[in-house]
Amino acid sequence: MPETQRRPESRYGNRPTMKDVAARAGVGLKTVSRVVNGEPGVTPETERRVQEAIDALGFRRNDSARVLRKGSTASIGLVLEDLADPFYGPLSRAVEEVARAHGALLINGSSAEDPDREQELALALCARRVDGLVVIPAGDDHRYLEPEIKAGVATVFVDRPAGQIDADCVLSDNFGGAREGVTHLVSHGHRRIGFIGDMPRIHTAAERLRGYRAAMEDAGIPVEDAWMSLGATDPLRVRRAAEEMLSGPVPVTAIFSGNNRVTVTVIRVLAERARRVALVAFDDLELADLLQPGVTVVAQDAATLGRTAAERLFGQLDGTLITPERIELPTRLVTRGSGELPPAD
């Protein structure tokens, strides 16, 4: 190639190899391999020389080559609904801590509540040879994962169950928690109680609505259609639903909100009104105890959900857990004042 046509050299150098380490340390390639992979058969002095060469050259083990040899990547994937949702922060952190304790790397991504995006992301992680998947499902058909599971990819669903396949799942008691929260409002004298939740196709939203209905039935209170609203959790939709329930000649005296994103908008709507309305929220939220009154919540333990799911996953990987199970964790009613307000009329 003529001088004028030469390609410019990359500003990045070549990665040092085990051959480079062996040459610098004055040992054989097999000796370097033993040190890098923590295998026995190397004297302390030789190991010291090899480690000094590794540090001097900035050598890093080629895990891609290791994957080809061992057939595992020491990595797991986590498919979340929304990385920005504060509920998933402690859940993700708990999964990561369990993975780290098992010497594995966590790779996560968001489905944005889109079933197609969930499938695309889960299969992309499988294509990168993760050893297992923890999935918060957006869709209700997970048969696309059957070939991956049969090929050995450990899989656990968390927060919502899998659809149309038999798989491990770790859930909160959404039905029981909602039932307890609404019963709490009834015990403080409320009979006109509104429910504002997420989209009805979502398992958690449907279970919380079922819990609301059960509590009202337990109390012998007929539920009016105008008291229930399920849909997207965007503020405009939730605001409209809350304002409609709080208007008219016979407004609701209490609201049960179906998740933390709904609750934030409901709190704003209630703050604009002179009449005090009771509120119980499913999911705790930051600063809920500092509002006046503090927000009474049905709290679920996101960290325990994540930890339990990850431990199930590694139980599958080490062969101790074979039969899929459905694990349901209890919720906890936290009273702070908003759920204890009596009806204003």
Q: Where are the domains positioned within the chain?
A: 18-61, 73-171+302-329, 174-300
Fold adopted by 18-61: 434 Repressor (Amino-terminal Domain) (1.10.260)
Kindly give the interhelix angle for 18-25 and 29-36, rounded to the nearest 10 degrees.
110
Fold adopted by 73-171+302-329: Rossmann fold (3.40.50)
Taking 70 as the threshold, does the pLDDT of residue 103 lie above it?
yes
**Residues paired with 282 in a beta bridge:** 298
Taking 90 as the threshold, does the pLDDT of residue 9 lie above it?
no
- Dump pLDDT digits (tens) for 256-296: 999 999 999 999 999 999 999 999 999 999 999 999 999 99
Percent of the chain with pLDDT over 90: 77
Contact status, residue 326 vs residue 320, Cβ threshold 8 Å = no
Taking 80 as the threshold, does the pLDDT of residue 28 lie above it?
yes
φ, ψ dihedrals at 52, nearest 5°: -65, -40
Mean pLDDT for 322-344 is: 96
Tokens of residue 186, six digits: 């009834």
- pLDDT of the residue at 36: 84
Report the candidate in 111, 168, 171, 160 with the shortest Cα–Cα distance to residue 314: 168
Residues 6+ apart with CB under 8 A from 103: 74
Q: What angle do CA 269, 235, 141 make, to 5 degrees?
A: 135
Report the candidate in 168, 183, 169, 175 with the shortest Cα–Cα distance to residue 330: 175
Taking 50 as the threshold, does the pLDDT of residue 11 lie above it?
no
| CATH topology match: 73-171+302-329 vs 174-300 | yes
Residues 6+ apart with CB under 8 A from 161: 137, 169, 171, 203, 326
Segment among 8-12, 244-248, 317-321 with least mean pLDDT: 8-12
Mean pLDDT for 184-203 is: 97
Looking at domain 174-300, which CATH architecture does it have?
3-Layer(aba) Sandwich (3.40)
- pLDDT of the residue at 110: 94
Confidence of residue 62 (pLDDT cuts 50, 70, 90): low
- pLDDT of the residue at 248: 83
What pTM, to 2 d.p., does this model score? 0.81
Mean pLDDT for 132-156 is: 95
- pLDDT of the residue at 66: 52
Mean pLDDT of the chain: 91
273's torsion region: left (phi>0), alpha (psi -120 to 50) or beta? Answer: beta
Confidence of residue 33 (pLDDT cuts 50, 70, 90): confident
Q: Rounded CA gap, 69 and 33, in Å?
A: 13
